[in-house]
Amino acid sequence: MPTALVTGASAGLGRALAAALVRRNWTVIGDARDADALASAAREDGFTAVPGDVTDPAHRAALAEACPSLDLLVNNASSLGVSPLPPLARYPLAALEDVYRVNVFAPLALTQLLLPALAGGVVMNVSSDAAVEAYEGWGGYGSAKAALDQLTAVLGAEHPDLSVYAIDPGDLRTAMHQRAFPGEDISDRPLPSSAVPAFLRLLDERPPSGRYRAADLLVTA
């Protein structure tokens, strides 16, 4: 039975993907900072909960101990940063450092730790269109995701035995997306589960390592 580790699995895209993998008879380990929400999701969806913060080295070590062999790592846990989204000229630098710790350094640190367990496996890093488009207010989150995209590209070049993907899931109806638009109605955005088939397609077909948009994968499926 293949094994996956999905970070940020208590809600949104991470939870939807973890549940889909369980339905495919995968063993899934999920993490999140909210221990109660993670435990509830794990009970309902059938995965193993390891609560904690991916920026914490001790928690990353616990995740590595929970999956000594691994077929799929999904670095989904993310931080939007300050809400409402501020312009870069007024972005609090301490908050920006935290965005980079969550969105760039933690995924790389976890990948470094798990590389020995991932021989021939798949790494999926959840990206954003804000990584490649210049949206006002998105300089903090977007630049962090751009850095994650570049890390993904280089890891793919350095580890040809792995399939390493940065995936832009598109706008989804999640709590984080709502924080980006406080007070606005985002009910027109699709549910996180709508993007899951794109991730599964990459997992099944294993195209070359690189950056992919869920919308493109879904259209051509």
Which positions are catalytic? 141
Tokens coding 196: 């899951």
Residue from 197, 96, 182 nearest 139 by CA: 96
- The DSSP secondary structure of 11-53, one letter per residue, reads SHHHHHHHHHHHHTT-EEEEE-S-HHHHHHHHHHHT-EE--S-
Burial-class residue 185 by CB neighbours within 10 Å (0-12, 13-18, 19+): exposed
CB-based contact 167:183 (threshold 8 Å): no
34's CB contacts (< 8 A; 6+ apart) are 10, 51
Q: Running DSSP on this structure, what letter comes out for residue 162?
A: S
